[in-house]
Structure 1
Amino acid sequence: MKIAILGLGEAGSRFANDLAEKGHQVWGYDPNPVYKLHADVQLLDSNPTAVSQADLILSVNLSSVSIQIAQEIASVTKPHQYFCEMNTSGPQKKIAIAEILRPSAVRVIDLAIMAPVPPKGILTPFLAAGEYAPEFLDFVKPLALDISLVENSVIGDAATRKLLRSIVYKGIAAVICEAMEAGEAFGMESYIRGQISSLIGGNNELIDRFVEGSRTHALRRMHEMEAVIEMLENQGVEPIVTRGTRDNLEKLLTSCH
C-alpha cells in the first residue's frame, strides 16, 4: 500500500515509522520535520507531491493549517484515493475540508485519534465516520489497525464524539491537576491524593498519569479544548467548565516554559 502522511510531528512521524516498519511504502511532508524517521520513509518537498501517488493519505497536522492543506492538495487528489482527516478540530471544520475536496471525488474519511499516540503508535484506537467509512475499513484491513466505525455516519460524527469525550477526560485531568496543586500548597498532598484516589478506584498511578500527561501535552490539549469550546458554542451550549479546562492547560504550558 502506498501511504502519504501529511504532518510528521509526534503523531505523524510515529505513524510513518510504524507503517514503514511493517513494509509499506511510506512518504510524507512536513515544513519543519524534527522527529527521527525510519530509513524507508521518504521525505518529499510538498503536500501535493506527497499526495499525488498515494492510495491512502493521512493528514495529521495542526487544526489551524488543515483548511490550507486541503486547498493545497485539492487539484491532485483522485477518486480512488482515501483521504483521512485526522486533525483535532470540530465537526464544522471537517465538513469544510470535505467540501473543498469534493470536486476531486477523493474519498474523505473523518478519522479521529481516540487516545495518546506514543504508547501504541499506528495501533492507537481510531474512530471512522463518513459516507466512505465502511469501505475504508475493508480497504485498510491489511494494516490491522484498531478502527471503530460510527454506523450510518457523516463527516464530523467522529470529530464530535472525540470532542465530547474530551470534555470528560480533559476536565477530570484539570480537576486533578488543580486539586494536587492545592494539596501541595496546603501541605496536605497525601490527604488530597487519598480523596482523588477514592473516586478513581484507588488507582494512585493514574493520578500521576493525569498530571504528567496534562503537563507534557498541554499545548496540543489546549488546542483540543479550543475546538470543544467552538463546537459547544455553535450548538448553543455555554462551555463554562471547558473554558476552565482550557485555562488550566494554558497555565501548565506557561509554567513548563
Structure 2
Amino acid sequence: MDADSKRWRVGLVGYGEVGRIVAEDLRAQGVAVAAYDVKLDDARGHAMRGHAAEHGVVLAASHAALAAGSDLVISAVTASQAVTVARAIAPALRAGTFVLDLNSASPGAKIDAARTVDAAGGRYVEGAVMTSVPPYRIKVPTILGGPHAAALAPALAALGFAGCKAGSDRLGVASASKMCRSVMIKGLEAMVIESFTTARHYGVEDAVIASLHETFPGIDWEKQAAYFFQRVIEHGRRRAEEMREVAQTVREAGLEPWSAAGTAERQAWVADAADAGWFGVRGTPGFARSADWRTEADRILAHLKPKD
C-alpha cells in the first residue's frame, strides 16, 4: 500500500497555514491534492484561491465532494471543528478511506470523531503534532494513534511525512501527549507575554531577563520572547481554541484546569487585540514581525494607558 501512496488523491480539510504547507510539499512530489475550507465561501478565500492556482491544488465545492474523491483525507482545522469536520465528511467517505486528524483536540473529541468516521466505513487515525509545523513542514514530528495508525504510517512516510510515527493503538493516547505538552508550551507563551509586558511597563525587563537567563541559561529569552509574541499575535485565536481543548483534557483527568483555562483567555485576549489593529494591519510587513518583543509590548501598553 505504501508503494502506491504517491498515486493517492489527498484531500485537505482546512487550507490555512498547515494545509497550505502540506499542499505545497505534496504537490512538489506530483501528488494529486484537493482542498476545502469554509473560508473559501467568503472574502477570506481570495488568498486561498490564489495559492491553489499557483500550486495546482483542486478546490472542492464542499466537505462531501472532497471526501468522495480522496484516498486520504487530512483534517487540519481549528480545534473546535474537529468533530464537526468528521461528521461532515463521513457520509461521503468511500470504504477504507483513511482520515488523518491533525487537529489539537482533546482525547474525548478524537474518540468521538473516530467513532463517526469508522462507522461510515473510513479508517480514522489521530495525529498529535508535537511541535511547530513551519520549521519542519510535512516532516514535523507527529504521533499517530488508533487501531489504523500502523497501517497508515508507511504510506505517510512514502509521501514525505518523515516525522510521523505510529504510537498506541488506543485512541486518545497520542492527543493526550499533545495536550499535556500544550499546557506547558502555550502556557509559557502566555506567561512570557504577560510577564514581559508588565515588566516593560515598570521598566524592569532587563533585570527580569537577566534573572531568567541565570535560572535557565540554555534559553535565549530575547529571541524566544520575540517568537512567542509573533506567534500568539498571528495565531492566538487558533491557540485559544486549542487551549480550551487542553482544558477539557485536564478536566477529563479529574483536575480543574486553572492554568490551561487562563492560558486560553490570554491567547484569546491577544487575538482580540490583533483583530482590533493594535499591532498594525494583518498581512502587512510590520505586523508581528519585530525581532524585538519590546515593539509589540509597547503597542499593547499604548492601548492600555488611560486616555487624557
Correspondent of 1:116 among 127, 132, 143: 132
| Correspondence 1:28 to 2:46 | no
Instruction: Quote the residue 1:230 is aligned against.
Output: 248
Give me the whole-angstrom Cα distance separating, in 1, the residues matched to 2:91 and 2:106.
24
- The one-letter code of the counterpart of 2:22 is F
**Distance in 1 separating the partners of 2:149 and 2:29:** 23
How far apart are 1:164 and its partner, in Å?
0.4
Is 1:206 the counterpart of 2:224 in the alignment? yes
Give the one of 216, 228, 232 matched to 2:234: 216
Letter in 2 for 1:212: Q
> Residues 255 and 152 of structure 1: is their aligned pair in 2 closer, same or farther, counting only changes over 3 Å?
closer
Whichever residue aligns with residue 258 of structure 2, its letter is I
TM-score of the superposition, structure 1-length normalised? Answer: 0.92
Counterpart among 82, 89, 110 of residue 73 in structure 1: 89
Say yes or no: does 1:247 pair with 2:302. no
Residues 58-95 of structure 1, C-alpha deviation per residue, up to 9 Å, x if partnerless?
01122333323222222221333211111221111111
State the partner residue of 2:155. Answer: 139
Q: What is the CA-CA distance between 1:4 and the residue it aligns to?
A: 0.6
Q: Matched residues in 1 for 2:65 and 2:101: separation?
A: 18
Q: CA deviation at 1:148?
A: 4.1
Corresponding residue for residue 3 of structure 2: none
Deviation at 1:202, TM superposition (A): 4.5
Q: Which has the larger radius of gyration?
A: 2
Query: How far has the Cα of 1:192 moved from its partner?
Result: 1.4
Question: After superposition, where does 1:161-200 map in structure 2 within 5 Å?
Answer: 161-200=177-216
Q: Is the contact between residue 36 and residue 59 of structure 2 (CA under 8 Å) also seen in structure 1?
A: yes
- Aligned residue-pair number: 257
**C-alpha distance in 1 between matches for 2:159 and 2:165:** 16
| Residue 126 (structure 1) aligned to one of 127, 135, 142 | 142
Give the TM-score taking structure 2 as reference length: 0.78
Query: How far apart are residue 141 of structure 1 and its match?
Result: 2.3
Letter in 2 for 1:172: L
Separation in structure 1 between the aligned mates of residue 185 and residue 162 of structure 2, nearest angstrom: 20
8 A contact 2:168–2:174 mirrored in 1:
no
CA 1:162/1:233 → structure 2, altered by over 3 Å: closer, same or farther?
Answer: same
Q: Distance in 1 between matches of 2:269 and 2:134?
A: 24
1:106-151 deviations in Å (ceiling 9; x for gaps): 1110012222223332222221111111111112221121334353
Deviates more, 1:193-202 or 1:240-249: 193-202
Pick from 43, 47, 60 the counterpart of residue 76 of structure 2. 60
Change (3 A) 1:172 1:148: same
> Matched residues in 2 for 1:153 and 1:123: separation?
22
Unaligned runs of 5+ in 2: 1-7, 277-308
Change (3 A) 1:72 1:119: same
Distance 1:42 1:129, change over 3 A: same
Relative to structure 1, is the Cα distance of residues 183 and 97 closer, same or farther in structure 2, using a 3 angstrom cutoff? same
Distance (Å, rounded) in 1 between the aligned partners of 2:185 and 2:215: 14
Task: Measure the CA separation in 2 of the matches of 1:210 and 1:29.
Answer: 29
Measured at CA, do residues 116 and 62 of structure 1 come closer, stay the same or move farther in structure 2, by a change above 3 Å? Answer: same
* Residues 1:71 and 1:30: Cα distance change in structure 2 (over 3 Å): same
- Give CA deviations for 1:188-247 in whole Å, capped at 9, x if unaligned: 221112222333324131232223222222111111110011111122101112222122
Q: For 2:255, what is the secondary structure of its paired residue?
A: coil
Q: How far, CA to CA, are the matches of 2:133 and 2:186 in structure 1?
A: 16
- Cα separation, 1, equivalents of 2:22 and 2:247: 28
Larger helix proportion, structure 1 or 2?
2
